[in-house]
Every structure is written in structure tokens, then in C-alpha cells.
A = this chain, B = another copy of it.
Amino acid sequence: MLRMTKQADYGIVLMTHLAARAGRQFSAPELAAETRIPLPMVSKILKLLVREDLLVSHRGVKGGYALARAPRQITVADLISALDGPIAFTECIEDTPGSCSQEGICGVRDNWQRINQAVRHALEGITLADLTQPLASPLVQLGSGRGAELRA
């Protein structure tokens, strides 16, 4: 089906929520209530995002989470990498040779890179700031944005 994990999905919802109300600080229970995402999940996800330096946390009774950078400087690619691990869309991207049995005879090796780049590039082209804007011209910042250049 080719989809990202629910963790990343949730993560984007949470971060968007946070970005739309930037400045303030939100606790996990608070975010869970507002997004209707089960609290344990919210908690788990936020913790991961802190470790990846996309959020900063404040402990204690009046604790909570806030964005670590400006919305414009957090991309969807960042979020997905943080929550689902590196964007290794195809199998043979590891730079370590020998990891793939094909290697010697494989005619696509280099092309995997190409595909990975394309996807990564597309995801890097979308920031949290973009996601908070209600998308004025419907779906058409694509051609002008990243990703199109891949094609020529």
C-alpha cells in the first residue's frame, strides 16, 4: 500500500497543531485531548521528537512541549526520518558495499539513489509552515516547488 507509519502520520498532525499555535507550550494530555489521538501514543511520539531536536520539552507540573525551530525550518522529511527512521525508500541505499547480494550484476544500483533522492526531495519541500496554511491555490504549489526539477 505504500504508506508511512501511523506514528509519522500522528506526528505530523501533532506538529501541525503545535505550529499553528506557535509560541505557546502544550502538554501531552492537552494535545491528546485536542487531536483525539490516544495519550500513550502522543506521549511516545513527542518523546521521540524531542530526542531528534525537533521539539524542546519542559518538565514538571507546568511542563510541556514546544517547537525547537521555526515552522518554516521543519520539513515533513524531518518528521518522517525522526519517527520512522531514515528514508531508505529502496533496499540498496546503504553505502556499505556488500549489503546487497545483487551488487555485482545489478544494473539499477545507482538508480535506487535517484528514486530515493526524488522522494526525499519531495518531502523536504514541504515545511510545517506550509501545512498550517489552508492551501490557497489547490494543490498547485507542486510544479513550481521541489520535485519537478527531477524530471526536466
Q: Which residues does chain B contribute within 8 Å of A125, judged by CB atoms?
A: 118, 147-148, 150-151
Q: Chain A residues in contact with chain B, CB under 8 A?
A: 1-6, 8-9, 12-13, 16-17, 20, 34-36, 76, 80, 84-91, 101-102, 105-108, 110-111, 113-115, 117-119, 121-123, 125-126, 130-132, 134-135, 138-139, 141-152
**Given A107-B16, A139-B114, A90–B122 Cβ distance below 8 Å?**
no
Q: Which residues does chain B contribute within 8 Å of A4, judged by CB atoms?
A: 2, 89-90
Q: Which residues does chain B contribute within 8 Å of A1, judged by CB atoms?
A: 84-86, 88
Q: How many copies does the complex hold?
A: 2
User: Which of B12, B80, B84, B122 touches A118 (beta carbons < 8 Å)?
Assistant: B122
